[in-house]
Chain A
Amino acid sequence: MQDALAREFATAFEAVRGVVHLVPTRATAAEAIVRILKEAGITSAAAAALPEGLQEALVAGCGAAGIALMQPPYLAADLPLSMDGPEAGITGMAFGVAESGTMAEVCDEDSVRLVSGLPRTHIGVVFASTLVPRLVDAAAPMRAIFQQYPKNVTVSFISGPSRTGDIELILTLGVHGPEYAHAVVITEEQA
Chain B
Amino acid sequence: MSSPRKARLEAAIVDAIEHPKKRNSLTRCMKRGRDSRSERLATLHGGAAFRQEVKAIKTRCIEQLPELQSRFIAAAEARGCQVYLAADGAEVAEICLRIAQERAFTQVSKSKSLTTEEIELNDDLQAAGLTVIETDLGELIIQLVGDKPFHLVFPSVHKMRDEVAEIFSKETGKPVPPDVDAIMKVVREYLRPIFLNTDIGMTGANIGIAETGGIVIETNEGNGRLVSSIGKCHICVMGMEKIVDTLDDAMMMVLAHPVSASGQLPTTYVTWMGGRSPLGVDGVERESHIIILDNGRSRMREDPAMQEALRCIRCGACMNICPTYGVVGGHVFGHIYPGPIGIPWTSEVHGLETAGDFAELCISCGLCKEICPAEIDMPLMIAEVKQRDAEEHGYPATNRMLMAAESMAKLGCTTAPLANWSLRQPWMREIMDRFLGIDKRRSFPAFDGQTLNRRFRKRARKLRGAAPNAGSARKVVFFADLFVQYNRGDLGMRAIEALEAAGCEVVLPKLQGCGYPYIGYGNLNAARDAALYNLARIAPYVEQGYAVVTPEPTAAYCLKIAWPKLLPYHPHAKQVAEASHEIFEYLLAQGFEGGANALGKRYGFHCSCHQRPLGAGAGVQAWLKARGAQVEFLESGTCCGMAGTFGMKAGALGYDLANAVGEPLFELFKGSGVEAVVTESSVCAIHLRDGTGLPVLHPLELL
Contact of B280 among A111, A139, A159 (CB under 8 A): A111
Are A157 and B270 in contact, CB atoms less than 8 angstroms apart?
yes
Of A73, A75, A135, most buried by chain B (CB within 10 Å of CB) is: A135
Are B222 and A166 in contact, CB atoms less than 8 angstroms apart?
no
Q: Does B169 contact A (CB under 8 A)?
A: no
Are A160 and B80 in contact, CB atoms less than 8 angstroms apart?
no
Residue of A nearest to B272 (CB): A155
Are B272 and A175 in contact, CB atoms less than 8 angstroms apart?
no
Are B282 and A166 in contact, CB atoms less than 8 angstroms apart?
no
Q: Does A126 contact B (CB under 8 A)?
A: no
Are B275 and A73 in contact, CB atoms less than 8 angstroms apart?
no
Are A157 and B272 in contact, CB atoms less than 8 angstroms apart?
yes
Our count of residue pairs bridging A and B at CB distance below 8 angstroms stands at 196
Q: Does B14 contact A (CB under 8 A)?
A: no
Q: Does B183 contact A (CB under 8 A)?
A: yes
Residue of B nearest to A153 (CB): B274
Q: Does B363 contact A (CB under 8 A)?
A: no
Q: Does A187 contact B (CB under 8 A)?
A: no
Are B252 and A110 in contact, CB atoms less than 8 angstroms apart?
no
Contact of B269 among A134, A157, A168 (CB under 8 A): A157
* Shortest beta-carbon distance from A115 to chain B in Å: 10
Give the residues in chain B near A142, CB-CB below 8 Å.
247, 251, 272
Give the residues in chain B near A166, CB-CB below 8 Å.
136-138, 141, 154-157
Contact of B266 among A75, A80, A153, A159 (CB under 8 A): A159
Give the residues in chain B near A110, CB-CB below 8 Å.
229-230, 277-280
Q: Does A165 contact B (CB under 8 A)?
A: yes
Instruction: Decide yes or no: A169 and B255 within 8 Å by CB, A76-B279, A80-B279 being known contacts.
Output: no
Give the residues in chain B near A190, CB-CB below 8 Å.
none
Are A72 and B281 in contact, CB atoms less than 8 angstroms apart?
yes
A contact residues, total (Cβ < 8 Å)? 60
A182 to B191, CA, bound (A): 24
Are A169 and B154 in contact, CB atoms less than 8 angstroms apart?
yes
- Please classify how large the interface on chain B is, using the bins under 10, 10 to 19, 20 to 34, 35 or more: 35 or more
Are A135 and B254 in contact, CB atoms less than 8 angstroms apart?
yes
A107 to B275, CA, bound (A): 12
Contact of A156 among B137, B247, B271 (CB under 8 A): B271
A72 to B280, CA, bound (A): 9
Q: Does B268 contact A (CB under 8 A)?
A: yes
Give the residues in chain A near B272, CB-CB below 8 Å.
142, 154-157
Residue of B nearest to A138 (CB): B251
Report the stretch among B24-32, B312-320, B524-532, B609-617 that lies at the interface: B24-32
Are A109 and B278 in contact, CB atoms less than 8 angstroms apart?
yes
Are A175 and B271 in contact, CB atoms less than 8 angstroms apart?
no
0/1 string, A103-132, CB within 8 A of B gives 1? 000011111011001100000000000000
Are A109 and B221 in contact, CB atoms less than 8 angstroms apart?
no
0/1 string, A70-92, CB within 8 A of B gives 1? 00111111111100100000000
Top-6 shortest CB links A-B: A76-B280, A177-B222, A152-B275, A157-B270, A166-B138, A73-B281
Chain B residues at the A interface, C-beta cutoff of 8 Å: 25, 28-29, 32, 45, 78-80, 135-138, 141, 154-157, 159-161, 164, 180-181, 183-184, 187-188, 191-192, 195-196, 211-212, 214, 220-223, 225-226, 228-230, 246-248, 250-252, 254-255, 265-284
